[in-house]
């Protein structure tokens, strides 16, 4: 057919852009979007894993409260991400504060704040 396509390089988001996005999501009443963005940025999670698989049991599990268990469905790898440095400094303070303060609605960490108007769920 003679079609040609050249992919464009994906530009990574920097921390300032993440912070602005999170602030806008919070101000718009969609704090879970900000939380999901932070999880993607800091823990390198794909959106499928954040929205469909990352449960409360993965963050500070009962048997290891100093880690988050991050499952990468694409590779099948379960990674234990430390929450603290060797000197007990929090590695992800902004994210940990959000996760510790988040309202527990469901099993998954990231849930909608409002009903999806397009669906009856």
pLDDT tens figures, 25-72: 999 988 889 999 999 999 988 888 888 788 888 899 989 999 999 888
CB atoms within 10 A of CB 81: 16
Residue bearing the bigger pLDDT, 54 or 94: 94
**Listed range (1-10, 74-83, 111-120) with the worst mean pLDDT:** 111-120
Residue pair 57/68 in contact (Cβ under 8 Å)? The answer is no
* Phi, psi at 79, each rounded to 5°: -110, 130
Q: First vs last Cα of the chain: how many Å apart?
A: 44
Look up residue 56 and give its DSSP letter.
G
What is the Cα–Cα distance from 53 to 49, expressed in whole angstroms? Answer: 5
What are the extents of the domains in the chain? 15-100
pTM equals 0.80
- The partner residues of 69 in beta bridges, in order of sequence, read 80
Residue 23 pLDDT > 60? yes
Report the length, in residues, of the chain. 121
Residue (of 55, 50, 83) closest to 68 by Cα position: 83
């Amino acid at each position: 057919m003679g079609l040609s396509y050249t992919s464009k390089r994906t530009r990574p988001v920097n921390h300032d852009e993440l912070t602005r996005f999170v602030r806008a999501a919070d101000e718009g009443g969609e704090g879970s979007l900000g939380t999901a963005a932070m999880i993607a940025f800091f823990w390198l999670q794909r959106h499928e894993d954040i929205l469909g698989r990352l449960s409360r049991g993965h963050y500070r599990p009962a048997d290891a409260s100093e880690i988050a268990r991050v499952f990468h469905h694409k590779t099948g790898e379960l990674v234990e991400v430390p929450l603290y440095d060797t000197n007990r400094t929090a590695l992800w303070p902004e994210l940990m504060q959000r996760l510790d303060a988040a309202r527990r609605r469901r099993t998954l960490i990231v849930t909608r704040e409002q009903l999806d108007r397009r669906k009856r769920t």
